[in-house]
Structure 1
Amino acid sequence: MKQEETFYIGYITKTKGLKGEVQLFFEYDAPDLLELDVVFAAINGKMVPFFVSSYKLQQNSTGNFYFDDIDHIDKAQALVKKKIYLPLAKMPDRSEDDFHYNDLKGFVVSDEVVGELGEVIEVNEYPQQFVATVLYKGIEIMFPLNEDMIIEIDEEAQTLLVDLPEGLLDIYLSN
């Protein structure tokens, strides 16, 4: 399986106990909707499958997992900080009205003051917020996606109108 055939759900944060249990931090916003019988870890550029023998989801966007053949802390330690993916075929269906910040990839961004900035080339989710990356004048600029910055999202025209903080673009352009 190639990474393009998968979607990112989170990463292994730590081991738990001595019997190979690991904790997975979910960056996917609805982990309870995921089918978690087999997950893929990105290891040395390859998607390595891990069959889930049991797991328990927690309230804080984490889950405790046991994988087949990972029966000792030493084996589990190798998975810490690895990104975890599921096949695209296992992505939960979303309703038409269900819009996520990740859907902004490919949208054209305009700032109220500066005008058109460019296309959103990436949307990353961090624990506190989503961050968009836009190629502006050949330089990648990043800004948070939140209610304070976003003025309007036009899904039909695939445009995003933002009000970036004064000086943010200068930070990127001054180098």
Structure 2
Amino acid sequence: MNEDMFRIGVITSTHGLKGEVKVFPTTDDPARFKKLKKCFIRTKSGDVPVEKKSCKFFKNMVILSFSEFNDINEIEKYKGCELYVTREDAVPLEEDEFYIADVIDAEVFEDNGKKLGTLVDVMQTGANDVFVVKMENGKEVLLPVIKDCVLDINAEEKKIVVHMMNGLLD
């Protein structure tokens, strides 16, 4: 997978006859679609670059139209395809934020320097993210991404330092 492309949604269906699509957002912030300019529709035969023409919100969906399509028949074949943006077009990070793609496979160390394992997944729970770390012994441990537990995330070096709070390994 290209770490410089981020999935922002999935086209679930067409909307109306003028080439609009309903998109289920897979981003933390669906409002990001308002600022969206360019994105890519990922197809089996490659990524199709598109430019956003309009954006509306309906229930939990985003309704988008693209400059390239003006008719339901032109866009219909993209149902079920995912939408991606490049790193340049991704929402800028705030302090202490990171892109999940940049930390997957990072080595995780305890604050005493001992290697705990490798970050294999990030679960988004709503309250805080949870790191899924595959330990050296093959077991998995879940670590809440909170200041008391995750002390440092270095995405460039793919290194994370954590403090093992009581009860995490029970």
**TM-score normalised by L of structure 1:** 0.63
* Counterpart position of 1:43: 43
Distance in 2 separating the partners of 1:48 and 1:66: 14
Distance in 2 separating the partners of 1:137 and 1:45: 39
Unaligned runs of 5+ in 2: 154-158
* Counterpart position of 1:92: 91
Kindly report which structure 2 residues correspond to 1:143-162, keeping only aligned pairs within 5 A, or say none: 152-155=149-152, 158-160=160-162, 161=164
Kindly report which structure 2 residues correspond to 1:1-175, keeping only aligned pairs within 5 A, or say none: 3-33=2-32, 35-44=35-44, 46-58=46-58, 60=60, 62-97=61-96, 99=97, 102=100, 105=104, 106=106, 108=108, 118-123=117-122, 134-136=133-135, 152-155=149-152, 158-160=160-162, 161=164
Distance in 2 separating the partners of 1:140 and 1:15: 44
Distance in 1 separating the partners of 2:58 and 2:109: 36
**TM-score normalised by L of structure 2:** 0.65
Shift of the alpha carbon at 1:119? 0.9
Relative distance call for 1:44 and 1:130 in structure 2 (3 A) is farther
Q: How many residues align?
A: 157
Q: Percent identity?
A: 25
Q: What is the CA deviation profile of residues 95-125 of structure 1, one whole-angstrom value per residue up to 9, with x for unaligned ones?
A: 314x368375325277xxxx96521134366
The answer on whether the counterparts of 1:27 and 1:126 sit within 8 Å (CA) in structure 2 is no
RMSD: 4.0
The one-letter code of the counterpart of 1:108 is V
The one-letter code of the counterpart of 2:118 is E
Relative distance call for 1:153 and 1:101 in structure 2 (3 A) is farther
Distance in 2 separating the partners of 1:79 and 1:101: 26
Unaligned runs of 5+ in 1: 167-175
